[in-house]
Amino acid sequence: MSADARRLALLGGEPLFAATLHVGRPNIGDRTRLLQRFNDMLDRRWLSNNGPFVQEFERAIEKYLGVRHAICVCNATIGLEIAIRAADLKGEVIVPAYTFVATAHALQWQEITPVFADMDPATHNLDPARVERHITPRTTAILGTHVWGRPCAVEPLQEIAKRRGLKLMFDAAHAFGCSDGARMVGGFGLAEVFSFHATKFLNSFEGGAITTNDDALAHRIRLMTNFGFAGFDNVIHIGTNGKMTEASALMGLTSLEGIDHLISVNRANYGVYRENLAGIPGLSLISYDPAVLNNYQYVVVEVDDSVTPLNRDELVSVLHAENVLARKYFWPGVHRMEPYRSLFPHAGLLLPDTQRIAPRVIVLPTGTGVNGEDIARVCGCIRLALENATEVRQKLASTRPA
Ligand SMILES: Cc1ncc(COP(=O)(O)O)c(C=O)c1O
């Protein structure tokens, strides 16, 4: 049924989708290759501890990104913790408030204070001018996030870091396959950390990689990822267990072989969203610069409810009723999550753009689990909801707990 010939599920109609359409539904690479590698792993009985698939995945990442070192880890959160510790960050580190909570947790976990800086509303990334305002004598570093895979303002941040004697590092969890100009994300700052979590465009079930061009830092990171072992029985450094398993590495490796396909599916899906959401007043789909590389993994819509008859939360409720699990990333902003909300109750005063944009963002499903027809139906449902806004509002008000 076409979306506009139907009644919204919220208003009593049948849901658009029988099976839930998730944001971040995992991409699965070539199944034959995957199972072949799985069998190889089982035959070898080498499941962890820097196995051949981890080594192969690391070399493949280094080649793809053009970096000297890639160190695979069990997830990006541990990767951030290790990179932060290996680079000796301490005191205060400036981070975006508009990021996944792990960026700040990786610091706070190590008793380093995250100091939240505001975004540039045009890019959702750290605004370098605002970063500068937060520098104090305790500041040791800037940790930027390439939000949605769109690269941070790398050069201005580099310039500030250099001039103010700070270290620079990036949370590149979203940004595998993305570039800033001709340079791939992966080689900026002291180190960058990617996530290969199942929801990421390239996944290894769970996993991540720390990339760096600094040989000494890479050496420390390797040691720290494996308890500080430098050979059997020889522990020469403080460390943790951040190792990636062979099962994760073979999944990541197989995903990486299919990366061009994954990007082309995401790019095509993004195009269908653009076409189908065009001309709706108050809705804007974030754009990706066609002159640089993007992975198009995030279909992000800003809802300006001074223009639209429904706000972001109301639209999300409509979509959830249709079994479209749209998400509100990264609402309400890390500064409003614990422990930061209690530690820094007034942080929001210096984050006007994060406070303004975070309640507007909807992330919509994409990836190989979603096709153009699905997307047209999701967009049709958004239009239908806006056309029936009065009824939707009344229904939501009547179901809201008193
Ligand atoms: C910006 C950002 N940083 C860090 C992470 C943490 O990644 P992982 O789940 O691999 O620990 C995520 C995951 O969603 C993220 O979006």
- Ligand 1 within 6 A of CB of 192: no
Residues 114-137: what's their mean pLDDT? 98
- Ligand 1 within 6 A of CB of 208: yes
300-313 burial: b if 16+ Cβ within 10 Å, else e: bbbbeeeebbbbbe
Q: In the chain, what percentage of residues exceed pLDDT 90?
A: 96
Atom of ligand 1 nearest to the CA of 208: 10
Q: In the chain, what percentage of residues exceed pLDDT 70?
A: 99
Q: How far is the CA of 197 from the centre of ligand 1 (A)?
A: 7
**Sign of the C-alpha dihedral, residues 198, 113, 242, 173?**
positive
- pLDDT tens-digit readout, 312-366: 999 999 999 999 999 999 999 999 999 999 999 999 999 999 999 999 999 999 9
Atom of ligand 1 nearest to the CA of 197: 10
- Ligand 1 within 6 A of CB of 321: no
Decide if 187 contacts 213 (C-beta within 8 A): yes
pTM over 0.95: yes
Cβ neighbours for 162, distance < 8 A, ≥ 6 positions apart:
none
Strand-strand pairing, 183-184 and 179-180: antiparallel
Q: How far is the CA of 250 from the centre of ligand 1 (A)?
A: 20
Atom of ligand 1 nearest to the CA of 195: 10
- pLDDT tens-digit readout, 200-259: 999 999 999 999 999 999 999 999 999 999 999 999 999 999 999 999 999 999 999 999
What is the per-residue pLDDT for 371? Answer: 95
- Ligand 1 within 6 A of CB of 317: no
Q: How far is the CA of 225 from the centre of ligand 1 (A)?
A: 18
Tokens representing 341 are 């909300």
Structural domains in the chain, CATH included, are 3-26+259-326+365-399 (3.90.1150.10), 31-257 (3.40.640.10)
- pLDDT tens-digit readout, 69-110: 999 999 999 999 999 999 999 999 999 999 999 999 999 999
Atom of ligand 1 nearest to the CA of 200: 14
- Ligand 1 within 6 A of CB of 102: yes
- Ligand 1 within 6 A of CB of 146: no
What is the per-residue pLDDT for 382? Answer: 97
- Ligand 1 within 6 A of CB of 125: no
